Amino acid sequence: MNAFDLTGRVALVTGATSGIGAATAVLMARRGAHVLVAGRDGARGEAVAETVRAGGGRADFVAADLREARAVRQLALQAEELFGRVDILVNNAGAYPFGPTEKTADSEIDTVYALNVKAPFHLVAQLAPAMARRGGGAIVNVTTVAAAYGFAGMALYGSSKAAVELLTKAWAAEYGPRGVRVNAVRPGPVRTEGTAGMGEDLDALAAQAPAGRSGEPQEVAEAIAYLASDAASFVHGAVLSVDGGRSAV
Ligand code: NAP
């Protein structure tokens, strides 16, 4: 069997109603996974699931606001109850407000950390032990190039994703010996619904990298699907940059 194949796996992809998450859901379903499309927006979520089904794949939309710890745990329970298990977890949902540190409201700090850090934490706490009991699983966290560089205006966002990169390594140490591989993909600037408003700022960021352009959601999805698959069977605790080479220069 092709090592990239995901046939028979159940994959929970957060933030799958848009951008990188939607591209990941569609790609994983094309490779055989039954994908749980998680997000808040029912119309966009059903549209992604419908795209998958129209292509002959399996997908269901599951609604959850991941800023609420209770809703996060409920999502994990619901996924396991409705679909029997979760073999692949992609922690992709994220918020990325930019701005000066002194103008950042306390509520915004709470929101960004709730969605970007606490939600993955609770999902892993809930799902990784069950993966381990079943003999294996794969978790892929989506971070950002801003987790590794000190960009002005990205202190809150970058620090939240830097936490996720450390969690990726800690969870690889914690769950890897029990068969659960935990890795991260670190994208550079990508054109998505979420970055549509950034206009030339996104192009200016992208211009700093060897590729000299912003990425497409599909290009990040390919890396996520790889890390989730048996093709990456010896890859644990890695942070894979998919950033047009920004990390190299
Ligand atoms: P996007 O187009 O803005 O979509 C964000 C996704 O997160 C949507 O599916 C949204 O779903 C979901 N989401 C937002 N708030 C949520 C909440 N409270 N509860 C549940 N789901 C929520 O995102 P993107 O640009 O594809 O980015 C995806 C990930 O890649 C993020 O973690 C981001 O930090 C990271 N990243 C992006 C870039 C980039 O340039 N695009 C670069 C580096 C890293 P609903 O609206 O349906 O809730």
Provide the mean pLDDT of the chain. 97
Indicate whether residue 191 lines ligand 1 (CB < 6 A).
no
Contacts for 59 with CB less than 8 Å, ≥ 6 apart = 25, 29, 34, 35, 36, 37, 48, 49, 52, 53
Checking if the pLDDT of 1 tops 80, the result is no
Strands 10-13 and 180-187: unpaired
Average pLDDT over every residue of 197-226: 96
140: its two tokens: 């892929």
Please tell me the pTM assigned to this model: 0.99
User: Which residue's alpha carbon is nearest to atom 32 within ligand 1?
Assistant: 94
- 19 CA: nearest ligand 1 atom: 26
Coil vs helix vs strand at 232? helix
Ranges 130-134, 179-183, 200-204: which has the least confidence? 200-204
* Structure confidence at residue 180 (pLDDT): 98
Q: Which mutation among 13, 73, 96, 239 tests ligand 1's pocket best, with the greatest number of atoms within 8 A of CB?
A: 96
Q: Which mutation among 70, 92, 203, 224 tests ligand 1's pocket best, with the greatest number of atoms within 8 A of CB?
A: 92
Question: What would the pLDDT profile of 109-125 be if each residue is shown by its tens digit?
Answer: 999 999 999 999 999 99
Can you name the residues that pair with 184 across neighbouring β-strands?
141, 239
Checking if the pLDDT of 196 tops 80, the result is yes
In CATH terms, the fold of domain 10-243 is: Rossmann fold (3.40.50)
Assess whether 175 carries a catalytic annotation: no
How far, in Å, CA of 46 to CA of 51, rounded? 9
Question: What would the pLDDT profile of 78-103 be if each residue is shown by its tens digit?
Answer: 999 999 999 999 999 999 999 999 99
Active-site choice (113, 157, 175, 226) = 157
Indicate whether residue 39 lines ligand 1 (CB < 6 A).
yes
How far, in Å, CA of 132 to CA of 237, rounded? 16
Contacts for 46 with CB less than 8 Å, ≥ 6 apart = 61
Return the number of other C-beta atoms located less than 10 Å from residue 72's C-beta. 26
Distance, CA 93 to ligand 1 centroid (Å)? 4
| Residue 26's pLDDT band (cuts 50, 70, 90) | very high
